[in-house]
């Protein structure tokens, strides 16, 4: 029997992580942030002075220092690269600027896709990212494509930056998000796009709670149709 898998995709700042995390908690599923895994690879490249463009060196680094996840006593998932806990180092502007280039390499994606599928075969999950419904979990129980206006996404990201001790102007954050969306949507391998059977939700002006409830209704409906 296959257990429940929920795929949440969408552009940067659409509220995916917050919504996915809350949803996982309410449904008792494991939350997996695949963006954080790509960020961990970008962190590794930057830390070792390897160019984000140099895919073969990056894959070599990944094999030497594999990414793995550990659950804390509080139930949070922490990300490790080899023997480093990098969980709190993944949201810096440096990592954000390098991650799109790193995630465009087919070999890097194939390593992480394998890891993500392995994890979802072991646990019921809510997984968020860009290609979860299209590539990683094409048979997910429920697929959601979450969007929001660029302005709202920039405001949310700016708030996150400020919370982690960085400051930047909303316009600059918006420009960086737009650039990353463009790179993520136009890459050849697993570009950001809604799966054909994804439920599209625009979170502009909606609270986290509203979006979570909307998805929970979709999950209930899907499960009742299947019975």
Residues in the chain: 227
Q: How far is CA 69 from CA 132, 157, 160, 169, in A?
A: 18, 24, 23, 33
Total residues at the site for ligand DC (CB under 6 A)?
A: 14
Name the helix (H) or strand (E) containing 128: strand 125-129
- Binding to ligand DC by CB under 6 A, coded x per residue (else -) over 167-186, reads -------------x---x--
d(C-alpha 37, C-alpha 61), whole Å: 14
Half-sphere exposure of 132 (CA within 13 A, CB side): 31
Among positions 12, 46, 125, 148, the unique one binding ligand DC when judged by CB under 6 A: 12
Q: Of the two residues 67 and 99, which places its CB atom closer to ligand DC in the complex? A: 99
Interaction of residue 89 with ligand DC, rule CB under 6 A: no
Choose one: 24-32, 50-58, 125-133, 158-166; the region binding ligand DC (CB under 6 A). 125-133
- The pair of structure tokens assigned to 63 is 């094999």
Residue 204 CB, shortest distance to ligand DC, in Å, is 18
User: Under the rule (CB under 6 A), what is the footprint of ligand DC?
Assistant: 12, 34-35, 38-39, 99-100, 103, 129-132, 180, 184
């Amino acid at each position: 029997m296959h257990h429940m898998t929920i795929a949440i995709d969408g552009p940067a700042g659409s509220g995916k992580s917050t919504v996915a995390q809350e949803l996982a908690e309410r449904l008792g599923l494991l939350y997996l942030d695949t963006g954080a895994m790509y960020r961990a690879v970008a962190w590794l490249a930057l830390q070792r002075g390897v160019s984000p463009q140099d895919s073969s060196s990056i894959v070599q680094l990944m094999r030497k220092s594999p990414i793995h996840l550990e659950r804390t006593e509080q139930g949070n998932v922490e990300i490790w690269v080899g023997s480093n806990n990098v969980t709190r180092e993944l949201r810096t502007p440096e990592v954000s600027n390098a991650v799109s280039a790193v995630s465009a390499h087919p070999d890097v994606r194939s390593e992480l896709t394998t890891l993500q599928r392995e994890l979802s075969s072991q646990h019921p999950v809510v997984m968020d990212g860009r290609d979860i419904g299209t590539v990683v979990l094409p048979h997910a129980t429920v697929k959601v494509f979450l969007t929001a206006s660029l302005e709202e996404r920039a405001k949310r990201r700016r708030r996150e930056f400020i919370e982690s001790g960085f400051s930047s102007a909303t316009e600059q954050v918006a420009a960086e998000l737009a650039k990353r969306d463009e790179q993520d949507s136009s890459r050849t391998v697993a570009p950001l796009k809604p799966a054909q059977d994804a439920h599209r939700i625009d979170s502009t002006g909606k609270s986290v709670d509203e979006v979570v409830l909307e998805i929970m209704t979709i999950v209930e409906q899907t499960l009742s149709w299947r019975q």
